[in-house]
A = this chain, B = another copy of it.
Amino acid sequence: MELRSFIGLDEAIKRSLKYSPRQKSTIVPLLEAVGKFSAEDIVSPSDFPLSDRSAVDGYAVNSRETISSSKINPSSFNLVGKLFPSSSKNFVLKTGESVRIATGSKVPKGADSVVMLEDASEKDGRVDVYVPLRKYQNVSRKGEDLRKGFPILRRGERVYPPHVAALLECGIEKVAVISLSIGIVSTGDELVSGIVRNSTQPMLQSYFQRKGFVAVGHGVVPDVQSAIEDALDLVKEDVIIVTGGTGPGERDVLPSVMEKSGKFVFRGLKIRPGRTTSFGIYNGKPVFMLSGLPVAALIASENVVLEAIYRWFNLKREVKEIGSGELGRSLVNTLGFRSFVRVRVEEKNEKTFVYPTRVTGSGVIYSMINADGILVMDENSEGIAEGERVSYEVLRW
- Chain A 151-165 residues near chain B, CB threshold 8 A: 152, 158, 160-165
Instruction: Contacts A293-B103, A361-B144 given; indicate if A199 touches B165 (C-beta within 8 A).
Output: yes
* Contact, CB under 8 Å: A292 / B104: yes
- Chain A 132-154 residues near chain B, CB threshold 8 A: 138, 140, 144-146, 150, 152
- Categorize the interface residue count of chain A: 35 or more
Interface residues in chain A, defined as those with a beta carbon under 8 Å from any beta carbon in chain B: 4, 30-31, 34-35, 48-49, 53, 55-57, 82, 84-86, 100, 102-104, 117-118, 138, 140, 144-146, 150, 152, 158, 160-169, 171, 188-190, 192-193, 195-200, 202-207, 209-210, 247-252, 292-294, 298, 318, 321, 360-369, 394, 396-397
Q: Find A169's partner among B167, B192, B197 (CB 8 Å cutoff).
A: B197
Which chain B residues border A145 with CB–CB below 8 Å?
A: 361, 363-367
* Contact, CB under 8 Å: A361 / B140: yes
Q: Find A31's partner among B56, B188, B195, B206 (CB 8 Å cutoff).
A: B206
* Contact, CB under 8 Å: B189 / A168: no
Could you name 18 residue pairs across A and B whose Cβ atoms are closer than 8 Å? A4-B118, A57-B247, A85-B188, A102-B252, A103-B247, A103-B292, A104-B293, A118-B248, A140-B361, A140-B363, A144-B361, A162-B203, A165-B202, A165-B365, A165-B368, A166-B199, A166-B366, A168-B197
Q: Find A57's partner among B158, B252, B366 (CB 8 Å cutoff).
A: B252
Provide the bound-state CA to CA distance between A168 and B365, in Å. Answer: 11
Least CB distance from A118 to B in Å reads 7
* Contact, CB under 8 Å: B85 / A189: yes
* Contact, CB under 8 Å: A365 / B169: yes
Provide the bound-state CA to CA distance between A189 and B86, in Å. Answer: 6
Which residue of chain B has the shortest Cβ distance to A57 in the bound complex? B249
* Contact, CB under 8 Å: A247 / B102: yes
Q: Find A162's partner among B85, B171, B192, B294 (CB 8 Å cutoff).
A: B294
* Contact, CB under 8 Å: B366 / A152: yes
Which chain B residues border A190 with CB–CB below 8 Å?
A: 84-86, 104
A49-B363, A169-B197, A171-B197 given; name 5 further pairs at CB < 8 Å.
Answer: A34-B210, A57-B249, A103-B292, A104-B293, A150-B366
Instruction: Contacts A206-B34, A298-B161 given; indicate if A55 touches B361 (C-beta within 8 A).
Output: yes
Provide the bound-state CA to CA distance between A206 and B384, in Å. Answer: 43
Which chain B residues border A86 with CB–CB below 8 Å?
A: 188-190, 192-193, 195-196
Least CB distance from A12 to B in Å reads 19
* Contact, CB under 8 Å: A248 / B117: yes
Provide the bound-state CA to CA distance between A189 and B85, in Å. Answer: 8
Instruction: Contacts A35-B210, A104-B292 given; indicate if A200 touches B248 (C-beta within 8 A).
Output: no
Which residue of chain B has the shortest Cβ distance to A198 in the bound complex? B168
* Contact, CB under 8 Å: B146 / A366: yes
Which residue of chain B has the shortest Cβ distance to A164 in the bound complex? B203
Least CB distance from A381 to B in Å reads 22
Provide the bound-state CA to CA distance between A360 and B141, in Å. Answer: 12
Which chain B residues border A204 with CB–CB below 8 Å?
A: 161
Which residue of chain B has the shortest Cβ distance to A196 in the bound complex? B85
Which residue of chain B has the shortest Cβ distance to A105 in the bound complex? B190
Which chain B residues border A167 with CB–CB below 8 Å?
A: 199
Max chain B C-beta neighbours (<10 A), residue from A100, A146, A247, A292: A247
Provide the bound-state CA to CA distance between A207 and B159, in Å. Answer: 11
Q: Find A144's partner among B35, B249, B364, B397 (CB 8 Å cutoff).
A: B364
* Contact, CB under 8 Å: B162 / A369: yes
